[in-house]
Structure 1
Amino acid sequence: MPEIKDTARATVHIGFDGRVHKRYRGARARERFATEVKVLRYLEQRDCPFVPKLLDANEEELWIVTTNCGTRVQHLSSAKAKALFAQLEDYGVRHEDAFARNVTYRAQDGRFCLIDFEFATLLDDPSVSLKPDLNPEDAAEDA
């Protein structure tokens, strides 16, 4: 499986079938896993069309498998990014890590999508939130 991300917080691979495999590690890995699983299930119940679908999750080994939402974008205007993350809030979720590194482009339908919900907040249940206090070094590491 080709590796597309390897940071202190997670490794991400795309399987030969196109599905995305993410393994959590590092600080608060179990909590970040739980948050992302809960948020992805929440968004699926609301038929959000621009996020991955959760296909499998293993709480013991801290990994998930999702559908693929395309390739990471290299350039995105701040206005387009702001609008995309604001649209997510219409579905009841604040991303909390609203950077272009968490935006993909799905060529099949010409849609920008959002990924990586491990720090997200459910707006109707703020207890589901791991809003990070990212310093510039953390942000650079996750890029």
Structure 2
Amino acid sequence: MHEVKDTARALVRIGYDGRVHKSFRGHQAKERFDNEVLVLKHLEKHGCTFVPRLLECDPATLKIVTDNCGTRVDHISEERVKEVFAELEPFGVRHDDAFMRNITYRNTDGRFCIIDFEFATLLDGSNHPPMPGEGNRG
């Protein structure tokens, strides 16, 4: 496997078959794992095709496997970054870590894609508990 990212929060490797293996670790690893799985399942259910497709998830080891959405982007305007992340909103998701480091480019169709959903928010609020005094959101 080829190592892509090794930080206090995650280890990301790309297998020889092209699949992406992400292991969550560090502060709130379980919560971030649960959130990324929830958001990726939500996006797939709603037909979003410019994000990774969740292939496997293991809550015991806090590891997910996804398909590959292309290569990291080195140059993109701030305006285009905003446009790419805004494309998630019709699918009911706000990324909440909307930086170039979370954009890839898929050569097969010339599409910018978005990765890394551990901090994303479902716009209906279903992945975040109500704040004290807000009552039940749903």
TM score, norm. by length of structure 2: 0.91
Residue in structure 2 matched with residue 128 of structure 1 by the alignment: 127
Aligned CA-pair RMSD: 1.1
Residue 111 of structure 1: aligned partner: 111
1:134 alignment counterpart: none
Query: What amino acid does structure 1 have at the position aligned with 2:105?
Result: Y
1:46 corresponds to? 46
Q: Give the conservation status (yes or no) of the 8 Å contact 1:119–1:129.
A: no
Higher helix fraction: Structure 1 or Structure 2?
1
For these two proteins, the number of residue pairs brought into alignment is 129
Deviation at 1:129, TM superposition (A): 4.5
Larger radius of gyration: 2
Deviations 1:86-139 (A, max 9, x none): 111111000000000000000011000000000000001x24149xxxxxxxxx
Please show how residues 39-118 of structure 1 align to structure 2 within 5 Å.
Answer: 39-118=39-118
Deviation at 1:49, TM superposition (A): 1.1
CA-CA distance at 1:51 after TM superposition: 0.1
The one-letter amino acid of 1:128's match is N
Instruction: Please state whether the residue corresponding to 1:81 is helix, strand or coil.
Output: helix
Q: Deviations over 1:40-79 (max 9, x none)?
A: 0000001101000000000010000000000010011011
- Distance between the aligned counterparts of 2:49 and 2:25, measured in 1? 28
- Find the counterpart in structure 2 of residue 11 from structure 1: 11
Match of 2:2 in 1: 2
Q: Give 5+ residue unaligned stretches, structure 2.
A: 130-138
8 Å contact from structure 1 (residues 120, 129) kept in 2 = no
